[in-house]
């Protein structure tokens, strides 16, 4: 097989796998549409549970009551498609690895999925309630807290995906060291600069408040240290 034919074959395989991912996303979206009110209630519950008596979520646009739940359905479908995307990604990469390296594929694939879902769960069950409770708690008594549903959904979606991706740092660290792109010692020596980068990413990837930024940056730092612990230079 010539190089041109090999590249074409890989591109066709990549296209096939991406189509499968898109089909999975489409099917999950269609399945989720009838359950959009339930999905909305579930995602909104961290805020609804701590809203003061007499407060509620509001829609400031005519289309918001319809579009916000639908947007949430597509977000949920994308969220549940991500593990399958990681699976297809690893299956696409694995044939090009050496036999010894292939032994890492299954653990890394499972770790990638587990860490992503852990990041999502951490954001939803821990970070969101703490952030909402703080902001509602510091609101003056003269202010009635009524959050717009579209703004709330945008906030939560951005936060959840940021944490899901950030929790992949141990896998990224392991791959960088294992593939000899960088030495472990280099990453250790660069730790102070990387910590600053984590806080910058926390600022860029989360909504503009210091608490979500800290809640993202600090776990990124901890996960980076975890990645260093489980990684070692290739001999």
Candidate ranges 27-41, 49-63, 83-97, 100-114; pick with highest mean pLDDT: 27-41
What's phi and psi for 63, nearest 5 deg? -85, -10
Whole-angstrom distance, CA of residue 202 vs CA of residue 7: 37
Tokens, residue 29? 């979206």
* pLDDT digit string, tens, across residues 16-41: 999 999 999 999 999 999 999 899 88
As a three-state string, the secondary structure of the chain is: CCHHHHHHHHHHHHHHHHHHHHHHHHHHHHHHHHHHHHHHHHHHHHHHCCCCCCCCCECCCCCHHHHHHHHHHHHHHHHHHHHHHHHHHHHHHHHHCCHHHHCCHHHHHHHHHHHHHHHHHHHHHHHHHHHHHHHHHCCCCCCCCCCEHHHHHHHHHHHHHHHHHHCCHHHHHHHHHHCCCCCHHHHHHCHHHHHHHHHHHHHHHCCCCHHHHHHHHHHHHHHHHHHHHHCCCCC
Tokens, residue 108? 């890394």
- Looking from the CA of 50 toward its CB, the CA atoms found within 13 Å total 14
The answer to whether 52 and 145 have CB atoms below 8 angstroms apart is yes
Please check the confidence at residue 47 and state whether its pLDDT lies above 80.
Answer: yes
Please check the confidence at residue 234 and state whether its pLDDT lies above 60.
Answer: no
178 or 54, higher pLDDT: 178
> In the prediction, which pLDDT does 143 show?
74
> In the prediction, which pLDDT does 16 show?
93
**Which residue has 């294992």 as its token pair?**
178
Whole-angstrom distance, CA of residue 156 vs CA of residue 162: 10
96 or 28, higher pLDDT: 28
Please report, in angstroms and rounded to a whole number, the separation of the first and last CA atoms in the chain: 32
Mean pLDDT of the chain: 85
Please check the confidence at residue 141 and state whether its pLDDT lies above 60.
Answer: yes
1 or 49, higher pLDDT: 49
Report residue 5's pLDDT band, with 50, 70 and 90 as the boundaries: low
Whole-angstrom distance, CA of residue 20 vs CA of residue 23: 5
> In the prediction, which pLDDT does 208 show?
67
116 or 140, higher pLDDT: 116
Residues belonging to the chain = 235
> In the prediction, which pLDDT does 235 show?
52
* pLDDT digit string, tens, across residues 168-216: 999 889 888 887 888 888 999 999 999 999 888 888 877 666 777 888 8
- CB atoms under 10 Å from CB of 196, counted, come to 11
> In the prediction, which pLDDT does 3 show?
62
């Amino acid at each position: 097989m010539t190089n041109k034919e090999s590249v074409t074959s890989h591109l066709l395989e990549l296209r096939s796998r991406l189509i499968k991912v898109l089909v999975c996303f489409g099917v999950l979206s269609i399945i989720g549409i009838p359950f959009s009110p339930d999905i909305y209630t579930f995602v909104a519950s961290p805020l609804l549970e701590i809203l003061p008596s007499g407060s509620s979520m509001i829609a400031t646009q005519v289309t918001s009551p319809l579009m916000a739940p639908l947007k949430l359905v597509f977000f949920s479908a994308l969220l549940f498609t991500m593990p399958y995307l990681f699976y297809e990604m690893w299956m696409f990469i694995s044939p090009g690895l050496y036999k010894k390296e292939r032994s890492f594929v299954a653990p890394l694939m499972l770790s990638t999925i587990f860490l992503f879902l852990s990041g999502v769960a951490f954001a939803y069950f821990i970070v969101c309630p703490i952030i909402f409770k703080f902001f509602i708690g510091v609101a003056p008594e003269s202010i009635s807290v009524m959050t717009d549903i579209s703004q709330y959904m945008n906030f939560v979606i951005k936060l959840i995906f940021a944490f899901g991706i950030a929790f992949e740092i141990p896998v990224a660290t392991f791959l960088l060291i294992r593939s000899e792109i960088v030495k472990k010692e280099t990453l250790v020596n660069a730790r102070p600069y990387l910590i600053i980068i984590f806080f910058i990413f926390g600022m860029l990837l989360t909504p503009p408040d210091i608490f979500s930024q800290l809640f993202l940056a600090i776990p990124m730092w901890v996960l980076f240290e975890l990645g260093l612990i489980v990684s070692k230079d290739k001999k």
